[in-house]
Amino acid sequence: MSLSRQDVAKVALLSRLALSDGELDALTGELSKIVGFVSQLGEVDTARVEPLAHPLDAANVFRADEPAASLLREDALRSAPRHDGECFLVPAVLGESGAA
């Protein structure tokens, strides 16, 4: 399968990319090759291959969730650029806030 120059121009438009004519011509050839390589994957016989979520046989590899001592509040706030002695102070993101 090959892509047309118009296909690549449409993808560039949807991606909000401003491409020159030279870039558009170069990308048309490169993307056509990539799509061709991907289409080759459809030619592989996978009838006897079971679907899997991960290429390796891995069980739960996480450590045990054991309670442990946490960082003291004073130590955590020591490296904060702004705090009120109890909490971090950050700029408001979703509206006005009297704390930031």
Phi, psi (rounded to 5 degrees) for 64: -65, 140
Task: Examine residue 80 and state whether it is found in any structural domain, yes or no.
Answer: no
User: How many domains are contained in the chain?
Assistant: 1
Task: Examine residue 72 and state whether it is found in any structural domain, yes or no.
Answer: no
Task: Examine residue 82 and state whether it is found in any structural domain, yes or no.
Answer: no
pLDDT in tens, 61-89: 788 889 999 999 999 999 899 999 999 99
Which alpha helices (DSSP H) does 1-100 contain, by range?
5-14, 21-40, 73-78
Asked if the model's pLDDT at residue 1 lies above 80, the reply is: no
Task: Name the more confident of 7 and 51.
Answer: 7
Task: Examine residue 64 and state whether it is found in any structural domain, yes or no.
Answer: no
Q: Which residues contact 1 (CB under 8 A, 6 or more apart)?
A: 32, 35, 36, 39
Q: What CATH number does residue 36 fall under?
A: 1.10.20
User: pLDDT at position 17, please?
Assistant: 94
pLDDT in tens, 17-67: 999 999 999 999 999 999 999 999 989 999 998 888 878 877 777 888 899
User: pLDDT at position 96, please?
Assistant: 67
Task: Examine residue 32 and state whether it is found in any structural domain, yes or no.
Answer: yes
> 12 lies in which domain range?
5-43
pLDDT in tens, 11-31: 999 999 999 999 999 999 999
Task: Examine residue 62 and state whether it is found in any structural domain, yes or no.
Answer: no
Task: Examine residue 83 and state whether it is found in any structural domain, yes or no.
Answer: no
Task: Examine residue 11 and state whether it is found in any structural domain, yes or no.
Answer: yes
